[in-house]
Structure 1
Amino acid sequence: MVKREVLASEGSVMVVKVELDKDFHGDEDKHVEEQVSYIEKGSVEFEVAGEKRVLHEGDVQYIPSNAPHRVNVIESCTILDVFTPVRKDLLDGK
């Protein structure tokens, strides 16, 4: 399960709360917006541009513009994603 909630979208910055269930495996994603992901709860493996890293509560992952990335959830998690500029596709609910 993936649950997204846009918490803020002001100027050129967007904050999105993402909740993911244990054992969720995300498809590869790639977008022009820079992204910073803060792990609020749980643990997740991020793969960014071919490099894997396990993150736990309190850890942060930076994802550069156009870097291919994906997540594999180890323990149900809540992630706060910050994007710049704003991801208009998330505002449209896509």
Structure 2
Amino acid sequence: MVKRNVLSAEGSLMVVKVEIEAGFEGDTDQHPEEQTCYLEKGKLEFDLAGDKKILNEGDTQYVPSNEKHRVKVLEDCVIIDVFSPVRQDLLDT
């Protein structure tokens, strides 16, 4: 299960709180917006263009524009995602 809550979408920045249950494996994602992920809680494997690393509570991950990425959730997670510019597709859902 993935639960998203848009916390802010003003100017050129968007902040989204994402809650994901352990066992979730995301599809490969790619978007023109830059993204920074802050792992507030949990543990996950982050695959950025084939380079995999484990993120633990307190870690961050930068995702450049149009870079393919995906996650595999190892423990229930709370992630704070920051996008620039605002991802309109997330506002429309």
Does TM, normalized by the shorter one, top 0.5? Answer: yes
* Runs ≥4 residues deviating over 6 A: none
CA-atom RMSD in angstroms: 0.3
Q: TM-score, with normalisation over the residues of structure 2?
A: 0.99
CA distance, structure 2, for counterparts of residue 72 and residue 15 of structure 1: 21
Q: How many residues align?
A: 93
For structure 2, list consecutive stretches of 5 or more residues without a partner in the other structure: none
CA distance, structure 1, for counterparts of residue 53 and residue 61 of structure 2: 9
Q: What per-residue deviation string (whole Å, max 9, x for no partner) do you get for residues 32-75 of structure 1? A: 00000000000011000110010000000000000000000000
Superposition map of 1:52-67 within 5 A: 52-67=52-67
Give the share of equivalent positions with the same residue, in percent: 62
For structure 1, list consecutive stretches of 5 or more residues without a partner in the other structure: none
CA distance, structure 2, for counterparts of residue 65 and residue 44 of structure 1: 21
CA distance, structure 1, for counterparts of residue 80 and residue 68 of structure 2: 19
Question: What's the counterpart of residue 41 of structure 1?
Answer: 41
Amino acid in the other structure paired with 1:14: M
Q: What per-residue deviation string (whole Å, max 9, x for no partner) do you get for residues 13-48 of structure 1? A: 000000000010000000000000000000011000
CA distance, structure 1, for counterparts of residue 53 and residue 5 of structure 2: 25
